Structure formats: C-alpha cells, structure tokens
C-alpha cells in the first residue's frame, strides 16, 4: 500500500505541512560512534560540542527546528495525511502543478515510534480492539485541536527523498 495525496511544490495558505528531505547534519549512529549513555536504539543523531546528541524529535521539527534549511520536498494540506505517509514510508503525490511525484524513505530522526492508536487507546479515547487507520482518522477529524498533542507523543520523524514514479 502506498498512499496518494494532493501536494504543492511550494508553501501556500492551503498547503502548509512539509515533507522534508534528510538534513545534512543527520549522522548515522552505530556501536563504533555511539556516545556512552546514548540510547542504544538510536540509529541517528546530530553533531554537538561534546560529540553526538539525540536528533530533534517530531514535536521540535514540526515547531520549526529545521525551518529555513530548504529541506521541503513538497507541502501537504493535512497533518494527519502527512503522518500516515510517514508511517508508510512512501507516497505518490499529485502536485498542484500537474506533475505526479513519488517520495520514499531516506532516514529518520532516530527516536522510537509510538503509534497514535496506542496513545488514543491508553487515553481511553478508542478501545484497542477498535483501533484502525480509519478510526484514528475519524478521531482526529472530531478532535482537530488535539492532533499535535497525540502525534507529538510519537517522537520519531521520517525524512524522504524523491523517487521514480
């Protein structure tokens, strides 16, 4: 399954949610360069004065930690659509200029994935047995003011690259 979404090559009043390419300062981490005390799960980090530090998480990135770096591949109209593209790791984008574009996984911020279904179930919002992509989308439509609160509990953030259609 590969989601499809309408997208814009530029930021507009409607298209405000970016899909970002891999930042230049995102460093692969392995046992050879992992600082002592860093979560062994983390596979990516960023340079820091004393070595490597955990990379920015979803909340920090969506609040602008990478703004102004020219990483935007395309802009979507819906944050939830963008999130599910992150989950799938790829998408076909129907661009407003008529092009069909495809994006696929390039890297991630390194933090652990926490699904919104699990979060919503733990909060008593959706029974675990009823958690589906459709029930999650419906909950977000009914609670647009809580989208960031729920999605930012998933600290993992996916970076993309353009790929052949």
Residues 5-32 pLDDT 10s = 999 999 999 999 999 999 999 999 999 9
Residues 37-60 pLDDT 10s = 898 889 999 999 988 999 999 999
For the chain, domains (ranges, CATH) are 4-112+157-163 (2.40.240.50)
Mean pLDDT of the chain: 96
Query: What pLDDT score does 1 carry?
Result: 73
Alpha-carbon distance values, 21 to 29, 65, 75, 94, 133 (Å): 18, 14, 12, 18, 25
Burial 40-60 (b: 16+ CB within 10 A, else e): eebbbbbeeeeebebbbbbbe
Query: What pLDDT score does 10 carry?
Result: 97
Q: Is the pLDDT of residue 125 over 80?
A: yes
Distance CA 84, CA 17 (A): 13
Q: Is 19 exposed, middle or buried (0-12, 13-18, 19+ CB in 10 A)?
A: buried
Distance CA 6, CA 76 (A): 7
């Amino acid at each position: 399954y590969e989601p499809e979404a309408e997208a814009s090559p530029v930021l507009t009043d409607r298209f405000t949610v970016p899909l970002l390419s891999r930042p230049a300062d995102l460093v692969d981490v392995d046992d050879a360069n992992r600082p002592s005390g860093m979560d062994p799960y983390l596979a990516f980090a960023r340079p820091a004065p004393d070595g490597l530090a955990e990379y920015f998480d979803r909340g920090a990135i969506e609040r602008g930690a990478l703004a102004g770096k020219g990483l935007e591949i395309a802009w979507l109209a819906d944050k939830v659509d963008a999130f599910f593209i992150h989950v799938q790791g790829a998408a076909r984008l129907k661009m407003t200029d008529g092009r069909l574009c495809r994006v696929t996984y390039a890297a991630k911020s390194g933090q652990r994935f926490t699904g919104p279904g699990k979060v919503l179930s733990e909060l008593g919002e959706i029974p675990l047995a009823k958690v589906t992509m459709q029930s999650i989308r419906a909950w977000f439509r009914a609670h647009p003011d809580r989208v960031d609160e729920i999605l930012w509990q998933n600290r993992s953030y996916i970076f993309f690259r353009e790929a052949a259609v």
